[in-house]
């Protein structure tokens, strides 16, 4: 093999290596862009999820407050009923005193 043939061979191999590196760079750039796009999509989905969790938490707090109000109202009405019943029992006992058993 002559020196010129060797130089041509080296140039050919070098050109092949340069072409491989160019293709690798293009592939890496495409992968980088795809990764960035996926990260952006994921960030958007996480923001949406965070908004939804906040909304559910607010709805839950409102439902809890309604339940507390309902329990308080039920407790108030039950207290009134018990008070009315005890007053009625007291009135009945006053009007109908217990009789001593006859022996």
Distance between CA 32 and CA 40 in Å, rounded?
12
pLDDT, position 102: 78
Tell whether 17 is covered by a domain: yes
Tell whether 56 is covered by a domain: yes
Tell whether 103 is covered by a domain: no
Domains in the chain: how many in total?
A: 1
17 dihedral zone (left: phi>0; alpha: psi -120 to 50; beta): alpha
Tell whether 85 is covered by a domain: no
Tell whether 89 is covered by a domain: no
Tell whether 61 is covered by a domain: yes
How does pLDDT run across 21-41, given as a tens digit for each residue? 999 999 999 999 999 999 999
**Exposure string for 47-81, b = 16+ CB within 10 A, e = fewer:** eeeeeeeeeeeeeeeeeeeeeeeeeeeeeeeeeee
pLDDT, position 1: 81
Q: How confident is the model at residue 7 (pLDDT cuts 50, 70, 90)?
A: confident
Tell whether 95 is covered by a domain: no
pTM over 0.75: no
What is the extent of the structural domain holding 47? 1-66
Q: How confident is the model at residue 103 (pLDDT cuts 50, 70, 90)?
A: low
């Amino acid at each position: 093999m002559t020196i010129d043939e060797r130089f041509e061979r080296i140039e050919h191999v070098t050109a092949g290596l340069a072409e491989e590196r160019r293709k690798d760079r293009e592939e890496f750039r495409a992968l980088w862009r795809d990764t960035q796009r996926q990260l952006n999509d994921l960030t958007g989905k996480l923001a949406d999820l965070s908004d939804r969790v906040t909304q559910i938490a607010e709805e839950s707090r409102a439902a809890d407050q309604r339940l507390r109000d309902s329990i308080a109202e039920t407790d108030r009405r039950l207290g009134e009923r018990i008070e009315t019943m005890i007053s009625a029992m007291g009135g009945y006992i006053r009007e109908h005193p217990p009789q001593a058993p006859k022996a």
